[in-house]
C-alpha cells in the first residue's frame, strides 16, 4: 500500500476515485521543496523541485498496486514518480508524487488554477477522460 500526494486534477474525488474504481481516503497535505505551475496549452499542472517553495494538495492514503498503476498510466510519460515526505495534520508521512520530467520550457510562470479547472474542465474529465483512461488501461493490461 502506498500514499500518493496529488496537486492537480486528482484533487477532485470524482477523478481520483473514478480512475481507481473505489472510494479513497485522503487528507490535506503540504509538500515542501516543490512548486506547482500551470502548463502551456494544458488544463492540468506540474510540480518541479524548487527550494523554499511549497505545494498544497492532498495525500491519497493506502492505495493498492492496481490503483498506483492506473494513476501512473493516467499521468503519462511526462511525469515520473518521486518519493516525498508530506506534512499532514497527523504528522509527516511518506508518499510518492508525480513530478514533471518533460522540461521547464513547457511551464507557465504562474500557478495552476484549481477553480478554473473545476468550472471549465472537471465535467469533461469526469465524463470523458476518466472512462476512456480506464478502458485503455484495461485494454493494455
The model's pLDDT over 81-135, given as tens digits with 9 standing for 90+, comes to 999 999 999 999 999 999 999 999 999 999 999 999 999 999 999 999 999 999 9
pTM value is: 0.96
- 52, 67 Cβ separation under 8 angstroms: no
Residue 79: what pLDDT?
98
- 79, 42 Cβ separation under 8 angstroms: no
Alpha-carbon gap, residue 106 to 95, rounded angstroms: 25
Taking only Cα atoms into account, the Rg of the chain, rounded to an integer number of angstroms, comes to 14
Per-residue cell: 33: 521543496
Q: Which residue has the higher pLDDT, 130 or 141?
A: 130
Task: Please determine, for residue 141, whether its predicted confidence score (pLDDT) is greater than 90.
Answer: no
Amino acid at each position: 500500500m502506498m500514499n500518493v500526494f496529488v496537486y492537480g486534477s486528482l484533487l477532485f474525488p470524482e477523478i481520483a476515485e473514478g480512475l481507481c474504481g473505489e472510494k479513497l481516503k485522503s487528507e490535506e497535505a503540504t509538500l515542501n521543496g516543490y512548486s506547482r505551475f500551470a502548463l502551456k496549452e494544458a488544463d492540468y499542472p506540474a510540480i518541479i523541485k524548487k527550494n523554499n517553495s511549497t505545494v498544497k494538495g492532498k495525500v491519497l492514503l493506502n492505495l493498492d498496486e492496481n490503483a498506483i498503476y492506473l494513476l501512473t498510466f493516467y499521468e503519462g510519460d511526462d511525469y515520473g514518480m518521486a518519493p516525498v515526505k508530506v506534512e499532514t495534520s497527523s504528522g509527516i508521512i511518506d508518499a510518492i508524487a508525480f513530478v514533471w520530467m518533460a522540461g521547464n520550457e513547457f511551464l507557465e510562470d504562474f500557478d495552476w488554477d484549481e477553480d478554473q479547472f473545476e468550472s471549465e474542465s472537471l465535467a469533461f474529465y469526469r465524463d470523458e477522460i476518466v472512462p476512456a483512461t480506464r478502458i485503455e488501461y484495461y485494454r493494455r493490461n
